[in-house]
Amino acid sequence: MTAAPVDAASAGQRLNRLLAAAGQPALHPGQTQRFEAYLALLTRWNARMNLTAVRDEDGILARHFVESIACARALPAGIATLLDFGSGAGFPGIPIAICRSEIAVTLAESQGKKAAFLQEAARVLEVAVKVHAGRAEALQGQFDCVTLRAVDRMGAALKAAVALVGPGGWLAPMTTRAELPGLLAAAGPGFSWSSPVPLPGGDDRILALATRNA
């Protein structure tokens, strides 16, 4: 039996190939380098703690990076501050910080070990993010946009996230079409929802966008 060929392409080359297959533009060289460093750090930390259930490099590139990059690019213009609610391993907050440097990103993560990873990622990648090592609900102030992805009890989290969206700001959960009606109900009547943005990766994944009524 002939062994399967080994893909000798760098992580950045593989990521850009996946983006092209998803109809997304390639990353700039500096962005590519940051994503390569992010992948290396994530893989190393994932070997000793459960940051993400997807552990192989190609799975992380395809499942987490491509979807988060697509989300970053689909967010409306004019966002100055963004909260990644329950950031976990940094998705989509860190990719947003890499792809949209004009946005000041805060990563909220209540699990201490994951928050420590986010602090290290911010240092290694040299991205301008703040890490809130605690529950997002404890934050003071409001943000132009709040994102949520793969958060436990998404409906309850969304209800909590509503209070953190400033007037005219955006609520941006990454979800599926099947889950969307429940999230609309959880957000309540104070938001106007746009047409969902399809995300790459299958499973009928979407970025749902709602603006807070003034």
User: What does each of the 214 residues of the chain score in pLDDT, given as a tens digit?
Assistant: 333 344 557 999 999 999 999 999 999 999 999 999 999 999 999 988 888 878 789 989 998 999 999 999 999 999 999 999 999 999 999 999 999 999 999 999 999 999 999 999 999 999 989 999 999 999 999 999 999 998 888 889 999 999 999 999 999 999 999 999 999 999 999 999 999 999 997 769 999 999 999 6
SS3 48: coil
The pair of three-digit structure tokens given for residue 55, joined into one six-digit string: 């552990």
Q: What is the pLDDT of residue 48?
A: 87
Query: Measuring CA to CA, how many Å separate 11 from each of 77, 199, 200?
Result: 29, 21, 18
Environment class of residue 42 by beta-carbon count within 10 Å: exposed (0-12), middle (13-18) or buried (19+)? buried
What pLDDT, on the 0 to 100 scale, is given for residue 11?
Answer: 94
Specify the DSSP class assigned to residue 2: P
| Burial group, residue 86, by CB count within 10 angstroms (0-12, 13-18, 19+) | buried
How many angstroms separate the CA atoms of 87 and 48, rounded?
19
What does the pLDDT read at residue 5?
41
Answer yes or no: pTM beyond 0.85.
yes
- As a whole number of angstroms, the distance between CA 3 and CA 88 comes to 36
- Assign domain 11-212 one CATH number from 3.50.50.60, 3.40.50.2300, 3.40.50.150, 3.20.20.70: 3.40.50.150
pLDDT at position 56 is 87
- Amino acid code (one letter) for 142: Q
**Domain regions of the chain by residue span:** 11-212
The pLDDT value given to residue 7 = 53
Distance CA 61, CA 68 (A): 10
Burial class (CB in 10 A: 0-12, 13-18, 19+), 30: exposed
